[in-house]
Structure 1
Amino acid sequence: MTTPAHENDPRVKRTRQLLLQAFISLLEERHNIHSISVQDITEHATVNRATFYAHFEDKYALLEVWMREKFHHALESQLPATSTLQMSTLRLLILAVFDFLALWQYHLKPADRQFVPFFEVALQQELQEVLLHWLNQVPSSVPVYQEIVETTALIISWAIFGPAVQWSRGDQTITKDVMAQHVLAVVIAGLSPVVTVT
């Protein structure tokens, strides 16, 4: 994903938002991602192609930002504003991931199924960042290498994401709450070498 050098500049933020809004608007009109081109997005946003490419490497980079933002907002809406790494917030996080993926699978158009692997990687990376943020906030009595913290966030994100993907694809013989309890047990065990979750 291409990130402009001055991403905190209000003009850069406005332009990126304008491009994202153009994409969302086109998606509401056409109902599938496949039919939307960079040309369509730039025309709808009333900017030129050079402006688009100054902000995004290609359509897929924009799609990644869009999906990650959507997922991030969905997680934020399910979690307390000042969430930290606790048993209760981990459970809420797991349930939010299950909910999001189930809803996403339900609304996914057949023409857009080709984007599923791409989107799943973007969502897993967003989840990994949330977990890494939480892990970095935990005070530790013994020094823990950042590399170990990052690896733990990676492993735990997949421990949550993998079962949620399988469950959302239709393997729902076990209820979401029961699945969340099973996943939580695995997550707690996975976190134990790095941090004690209460």
Structure 2
Amino acid sequence: MLLYCNRPKEARQSSTRLFCCKSNRGSKMLVTSFEEKLDPRVKRTRKLLTDAFEELVQEKSLHAITVQDIAERATVNRATFYAHFDDKYALMDHLVASSYRETVKNKLADACGFSHENLALLIEATCEFLSRYTSSCHPSDEKYRPLIETQIQAQIKGLLSRWLEEHTNENGPSNIDIEITSTVYSWAIFGAGMQWAQHSNGSTLEDYSADVVSLILDGAPVP
């Protein structure tokens, strides 16, 4: 799968988001989005469009792909496309976000809440996703690269915010600023993921994620 990286400033942000909550059957990781609440017919149409887009980015650059190309490949008309997405960049955002959410969901299937173990699993999922991304990004689409940073960081931040909020609700008030903490942690996790994807040093992903967790939670050793 080819995932691309940024869209013009005039294109709007995707409304999808990732979060964790508790089910009535106990503490479980429920990775979901507004997409899961949509009518089945809407889901099917969106899948046709995303599948068509994935096929097209295997064949040519994002810049060369048009909405008409996507609609024809999906066997729908342009009006149907615009009923679901503002433009091809909105579709791209949707694909990036949903692909990342699926990676996280597979890694954290039965986990919920802020802990060393879950933080390590989130880091592993991010490393795996970014490794696939960096190996498949079309050279001519490097200018779109910033999207992956803002989109995935926002997804990580959203999940961490909810973990921290839930932790605070269960354990009482704390001095932790959830907004600052989730922002700093999310960029640290994203940066660690990019480092792993671009410069894997031969260690296992499990060892790498454990080292990153220690840096995030304990900080670097002071000389």
Residue in structure 2 matched with residue 163 of structure 1 by the alignment: 192
1:60 to 80, 89, 108: 89
Residue in structure 1 matched with residue 46 of structure 2 by the alignment: 16
Answer with 99-108 or 59-68: which moved more.
99-108
- Give CA-to-partner distance per residue, 1:24-71, whole Å, 9 cap, x none: 23234x154333211101111222222222221211111011011111
- Is the CA contact (8 Å cut-off) linking 1:124 and 1:161 kept in structure 2? yes
Relative to structure 1, is the Cα distance of residues 55 and 155 closer, same or farther in structure 2, using a 3 angstrom cutoff?
Answer: same
SS in 1 for 2:177: helix
Q: TM-score, normalised by structure 1?
A: 0.78
Residue in structure 1 matched with residue 133 of structure 2 by the alignment: 104
Residue in structure 2 matched with residue 113 of structure 1 by the alignment: 142
Relative to structure 1, is the Cα distance of residues 88 and 82 closer, same or farther in structure 2, using a 3 angstrom cutoff?
Answer: closer
- Alignment-mate amino acid for residue 140 of structure 2: A
1:142 to 151, 157, 172: 172
- Is the CA contact (8 Å cut-off) linking 1:2 and 1:55 kept in structure 2? no
**Unaligned regions of 5+ residues in structure 2, if any?**
1-12, 16-33
- Alignment-mate amino acid for residue 57 of structure 2: L
Q: State the distance in 2 between where 1:95 and 1:9 align.
A: 33
Q: Considering only aligned residues, what root-mean-square deviation do their CA atoms show, in Å? A: 2.9
- Alignment-mate amino acid for residue 107 of structure 1: S
Residue in structure 2 matched with residue 89 of structure 1 by the alignment: 118
Higher relative contact order (Cα pairs below 8 Å, separated by 6+ residues): 2
Relative to structure 1, is the Cα distance of residues 108 and 56 closer, same or farther in structure 2, using a 3 angstrom cutoff?
Answer: same
Residue in structure 2 matched with residue 195 of structure 1 by the alignment: none
* Poorly superposed stretches of 4+, deviation over 6 Å: none
- Alignment-mate amino acid for residue 80 of structure 2: T
Residue in structure 1 matched with residue 215 of structure 2 by the alignment: 186
- Is the CA contact (8 Å cut-off) linking 2:126 and 2:190 kept in structure 1? yes
Q: State the distance in 1 between where 2:150 and 2:77 align.
A: 29
- Alignment-mate amino acid for residue 67 of structure 1: V
* Count of aligned positions: 187
Identity %: 35
Residue 70 of structure 2 corresponds to residue 45 of structure 1 = no
> Per-residue deviation at 1:188?
2.1
Relative to structure 1, is the Cα distance of residues 140 and 83 closer, same or farther in structure 2, using a 3 angstrom cutoff?
Answer: closer
- Is the CA contact (8 Å cut-off) linking 2:14 and 2:94 kept in structure 1? no
> Per-residue deviation at 1:90?
0.9
Q: State the distance in 1 between where 2:102 and 2:69 align.
A: 26
Relative to structure 1, is the Cα distance of residues 103 and 46 closer, same or farther in structure 2, using a 3 angstrom cutoff?
Answer: closer
Q: State the distance in 1 between where 2:106 and 2:186 align.
A: 19
- Is the CA contact (8 Å cut-off) linking 1:159 and 1:186 kept in structure 2? no
User: By percentage of residues, which structure has more helix?
Assistant: 1
> Per-residue deviation at 1:185?
1.9
